[in-house]
Structure 1
Amino acid sequence: MKIQGCIAVLTGAGSGIGRALALALAREGCHLALVDINANNLRETAEQARHSGVNVTEHPLDVADRSAIAVLPEQVIAGHGQVDLLINNAGVALGGHFDQLSVENFDWLMAINFDAVVCMTRAFLPLLRQRPAARIVNVSSLFGLIAPAGQSAYCASKFAVRGFSNALREELAGSPVGVTVVHPGGIATSIANSARGPEGACEQERQIQLDRAAKLLRMPPAKAAEIILKGIMRDKARVIVGNDALILSWLERLMPVSYWRLLPRMPGAQR
């Protein structure tokens, strides 16, 4: 896919991988419609991206708000005239065993991590079909490939993104729209700091999980964005980001049931 001159819609653009992707796309000459719930962070990303000389529009909204998503395509067309690339990157985390999680928190996570991906795809697919070449990029996770204890909600959402993306790719075969699913490993973002936890968890338990995550979330977001962008430009169906994700993806294929016996405890995993 040729990025220069394209129009990309990118969710979760206010920080982490989203911000890094926005800046990487801008450097390639891609115009941006940036989406994030945090208006201040979104503005910072947009200002940095504009230094590359591209047209950037800001759309502060909650991707769990279906009514906001429904009117977003019209807003993007008003600012850009077309859409060539949709990147569903926004995501949140929720740690804890299934029976420790409230219904409200479980639904909160699924609404952002999976339902928003579906709603954004439904909203923008008609516009993408109008282009000679277009692409949907859905960000799953390493935890969309493997499933540690203590991450039942997060894994459910990220496995759902993976399955949805793979099926959608087959359904769109022969159309101008390709589908890429991304599985980042340990990327040094703030997702662990903003994660919700089990009901009634004490601060000490939360700090243990944060310390464990910090040891493994090491790849700079800019490096992850570079890998993802290369995958998009090469029309790859799946992009695995990081050696940790690559190794574990192969181990899961070889030992789909018993791979956990060979692994140390993952961040957020609770036995």
Structure 2
Amino acid sequence: MWKIHRKRVVVTGAASGIGRELSLQLAAKNVHLCLVDLQGEKLEETAQLCRTHHVEVQTLCADLCDEQTPARVAQLVREELGGLDLLFNNAGISYYGQTDKMTSEQLHRVVGVNFVAPLNLTHALIPLLLEQRRSHIVNIASMFGLFPTQRSTAYHATKYGLIGYSHALRAEYLRYGLGVTAVCPGFVRTELFDSMLQPEGEEKRAPPRWITTTPEIVARKAIRAAERNQRLVPITLAAYVGYHLQRFFPAALDLGYRLERRKAHPLRVAAELKTPVPVTVESLLDAGLSADRK
């Protein structure tokens, strides 16, 4: 098993949540860190916490969607770390709401941060990683890249893409000693929910606490996955169940969406007519029957 002790590591999204916890747990392993995030003050807080472990920490406050950022990170790593052994692509943002109500700015931001940015950063850092006899990339994806749900289509697309990218990179570079892992946590108790993008006026709905996990658990499993060179790591029961449902019983998921369609039908008609229509058990049944006849 590959040991991370005293390695050189880049962590994105290090200012809070999973990224901060990754940084702290890595610092405890006496690594040399390069931390990247857009939130400068919180990033420095993470760096100071890591330095209590008496490790060297470099920071870069930058927008990962800026096309100059990958080159800046690569230069900092080469000059200050002298090379790179491990990359954690962790930064991400979320969106919850109907796709047709999503603004183009929100769409571009979600795709940029969650998918384009890790691809660009990885592309810039791969030459440094390949200089090592053994190196690794961990992409923090999501259970929403394993199976579909409603009202997060763009977020789903980025996570599906990131998992596919991880698998393709692994197939291409494993023979050169570069491993790649896709970590797919379920709901995590982080600030990602507070910063989530959504349509104006829509109420945020936090998932029940009993189906969530903590950044500490995700970070620990992500680090262990890198050491063990694992390919795919679902985290939380919801992630495991959803993954296996999509893999072996995709029709079961479709059935659930069809049932939701029957409930939504009279509501959609009311919205189109712009007149209030009472929703009753009878109206739901009638809507389902009429939809089936079509």
TM-score (norm 2): 0.84
1:206 pairs with one of 200, 203, 207: 203
CA contact (8 A) 1:134 1:177 kept: yes
| Match in the other structure for 1:63 | 64
Other structure's SS at 2:65 match? coil
Task: Pick closer, same or farther for the CA change 1:45–1:171 going to 2, 3 Å.
Answer: same
Percentage of identical aligned residues? 33
Which structure's relative contact order is higher, taking Cα pairs within 8 Å and 6+ residues apart? 1
The residue type paired with residue 246 of structure 1 is: Y
2:248 pairs with one of 226, 232, 254: 254
Other structure's SS at 1:28 match? coil
| Match in the other structure for 1:98 | 99
| Match in the other structure for 1:220 | 214
Unaligned runs of 5+ in 1: 264-269
* Deviation of 1:218 (Å): 2.7
Other structure's SS at 1:4 match? coil
| Match in the other structure for 2:281 | none
Q: Work out the CA distance in 1 between the residues paired with 2:157 and 2:185.
A: 16
| Match in the other structure for 1:231 | 225
Other structure's SS at 2:33 match? strand
| Match in the other structure for 1:161 | 162
Unaligned runs of 5+ in 2: 258-262, 265-294
Task: Pick closer, same or farther for the CA change 1:189–1:172 going to 2, 3 Å.
Answer: same
TM-score (norm 1): 0.91
| Match in the other structure for 2:5 | 4
Matches for 1:13-162 after TM superposition, within 5 Å = 13-162=14-163
CA contact (8 A) 1:34 1:42 kept: yes
| Match in the other structure for 1:240 | 234
- Over aligned residues, Cα RMSD in angstroms? 1.9
The residue type paired with residue 93 of structure 1 is: S
Runs of 4+ with >3 A deviation: 214-217, 260-263
The residue type paired with residue 228 of structure 1 is: A
Please say which structure displays the higher CA radius of gyration: 2
Higher share of residues assigned helix: 2
The residue type paired with residue 229 of structure 2 is: D
| Match in the other structure for 2:291 | none
Alignment length, in residue pairs? 259
